[in-house]
Amino acid sequence: MLSNLERLIFIVLTVTSLGLAWFSFGRMFKAIGRGSDPIDWKKVIKNWPKGLAVFISQKTLFKTRPIVGAIHAGVAWGFTLYLLVNIIDVMYGMIPGFHFFPNSVIGDIYRLFVDVFTMIVLFGVLLLLIRRFISKDQKLITNEPVLLNDAARKGIKIDSLLVGTFIILHVGFRFIGASFEVALNGQDWTQPGATLLSYTWSGLTTESLIFGEHLGWWMALGLILGFMPYFPYSKHAHLFMGPLNYMAKVDRRSLSTLEIMDLEDESSEQFGAGKLEHLPQKELLDAYACIMCNRCQDACPAYYTGKELSPSALEINKRYYLNENLKEFSEGADSLEGLSKWMLSEEAAWSCTTCGFCIEVCPVGNEPMVDILRMRQDLVLMESNFPKGAMETFEKIENYGNPWGMSPNDREKWTEGMDVPKMREKGSAEYLYWAGCSGAYDDRGKDISRSVAKIMNESGVDYAILGNEETCTGDSARRIGNEYLFQMQAAQNMGNFEKYGVKKIVTQCPHCLTTLKNDYGEIGAELEVVHHSEFIADLIKEGKISPEKSLEEDITFHDACYVGRHHGEYDAPRDVLQSVMGKDAKLVEMPRNKEQSFCCGAGGGNMWYDIDKGKRINVERFEEAIDTGAKKVATSCNFCMIMMEDARKVTGQDEAMEVYDISELVAQRI
């Protein structure tokens, strides 16, 4: 198709573009390489099936916003097809007489697919541009008081416009070129769109049609050559970096479980992440994978209730900070400013409830919550800079072994009047029942502990408690960032586990569940830890307890983040509820439930300090429970219980509605 001169020009331009792209991609990967904790690229390569599955299926786009996700997926599939189309078009232009399977079924199917997906891509990108720039969908806007630096605020619009325009022009000119080819060679109904457009050129001379075909070819492929060096700087990089991010994903025991710090390492000068280079390489890769879709922002309970935190802004700030400083940073220069100056504010860091929703909904596998946890570690361990309530909590855990600051000798008082065996008396048991701090000291928490103990006694389970020997797991200390205090608490508890040969633990506290099972697992503890919802559900299935189905009122259930998203359990607590519900009672789900559940606001240490900005998260959640019309609210978490009880009073529902733990509803009926 091309003349010899055109072929020579194309080769020169291709070599130049590839050389510049190699340079810009090289800078990008050098910048990623500046992070701590190197990516294991051999493992990444072995994970290619996972990356390919995400790339081809685009299934992660459908977790939320299914309609927009379908449009985006259509564009992604079409543009993916265009990777092949561009190669074939180059061959068509560079190899005299080349046609892709002419007069064959394979060729016909190929041309039909290209024609159809060309329409899908053009229409889809047009809709996405209208959504961002004309209808100005609020989901794509990050509101004050979130920290979104100037470069990011300007760059998002410019980048989105550039990428959208590039796709429309690239695909559009290719489509125009195809229509000129049809006009030259006659109707081709395997390309219905191009054939219809070809009628526009009727009456043109052969020379004009050839010129139009060449123009379409050069504009389509010339745009690719021009865009390639810019690729790493644009949001369009997510097309490849997203699947790569999934391939590089770190296997965590839970969403909030980080690797254990070696606090005795005298050579270590940094704990946590205070600057960009302190973040692991995978978390720098996150910035380039980000679509800037704000799905995580939509899901974030802190952002939703008007606080300074937006997980999306965190990743976007990271991307534009890297772009602005890419040359110096990739060449080894230290970043000049701390993360709290440009990535997210300190208040935003403390606003995170570690619910994990941002990780759950991200279509490219980003983990902004993990960045926040690392930043907290720096603020606590390196800067001694944290909320006053957190300081008081640390002191109470260190001095009393619980964040309530109550006497460790009162920890087993909740057992008074009950036959609850103690490990120090019994010596060993199949199960250690871990009541936790809230189960020992909070009034409603004690009700839950007594209910669980009653169920265990009724079922004949071989169990015992540590009682006054139990001490805080260190969950809140670790989520807030005090790794030293967490490890101190873990050492004390693990000593008791070894002393009594503890291997199996039952607890009603999801935060204790996560810490004992996953965080202690990082230290080396081999424990089988079960949440009480799963344990009770199994007891019912095995016939060891048979609660009466006497609950005749509708009830709604609040999913605890650390049972659901962090632990993956959604059915067991509902099965327990069904076991006590009469024929006229219904389980009325809140609109946000199971994987989409909204946080109570207590996680990540937020139980112990206040963020004054915006609406209280627990009130937002309880209002959703009110709207169901149910007069009873069930939970499966001590912290959720405390937050729901508080919101019940704040919303004026203390007389009209009741809050129960699922264990209480069972214990009342056996």
Q: Which tens digit of pLDDT belongs to each residue from 297-355?
A: 999 999 999 999 999 999 999 999 999 999 999 999 999 899 999 999 999 999 999 99
Q: What is the CATH number of domain 402-541?
A: 3.40.50
Which pLDDT score is estimated for 336? 85
Sequence spans of domains, the chain: 66-247, 402-541, 555-667
CA distance 372 to 350: 8
| Total length of the chain | 670
547 neighbors 454 (Cβ within 8 angstroms): no
Q: Where are the beta strands (DSSP E) in 113-265?
A: none
- What does the pLDDT average to over 443-454? 98
Interval 160-202: pLDDT, tens: 999 999 999 999 999 999 999 999 998 888 999 999 999 999 9
Interval 185-195: pLDDT, tens: 988 889 999 99
- What does the pLDDT average to over 583-609? 96
What is the pairing mode between strands 463-464 and 431-434?
A: parallel
Which pLDDT score is estimated for 187? 84
**Nearest CA among 605, 385, 396, 356 for reference residue 480:** 605
Which pLDDT score is estimated for 79? 85
Which pLDDT score is estimated for 626? 98
Which pLDDT score is estimated for 184? 93
CB atoms within 10 A of CB 355: 31
Which pLDDT score is estimated for 188? 87
- What does the pLDDT average to over 467-474? 98
Q: Would the pLDDT of 646 be above 90? A: yes
Which pLDDT score is estimated for 454? 98
- What does the pLDDT average to over 492-510? 97
- The band of 266, judged by pLDDT with boundaries at 50, 70 and 90, is confident
pTM of this structure:
0.94
**Nearest CA among 135, 410, 453, 139 for reference residue 299:** 139
Which pLDDT score is estimated for 1? 85
Which pLDDT score is estimated for 460? 96
CA distance 189 to 108: 9
Whole-number average pLDDT of the chain: 95
Dmax (CA) of the chain: 101
Interval 42-87: pLDDT, tens: 999 999 999 999 999 999 999 899 999 999 999 999 988 999 999 9
Q: Is 231 helix (H, G, I), strand (E, B) or coil?
A: helix
- The band of 628, judged by pLDDT with boundaries at 50, 70 and 90, is very high
Prior bond of 145 cis (ω within 30°): yes
- The band of 414, judged by pLDDT with boundaries at 50, 70 and 90, is very high
Interval 104-126: pLDDT, tens: 999 999 999 999 999 999 999 99
**Nearest CA among 22, 23, 111, 87 for reference residue 221:** 87
Q: Which residue has the tokens 């100056």?
A: 341
Which pLDDT score is estimated for 186? 87
Q: Taking each helix axis as running N to C, give the angle between helix 311-324 and helix 150-185, from 0 to 180 degrees, rounded to the nearest 10.
A: 80
CA distances from 253 to 214, 286, 618, 654 (A): 56, 19, 27, 39
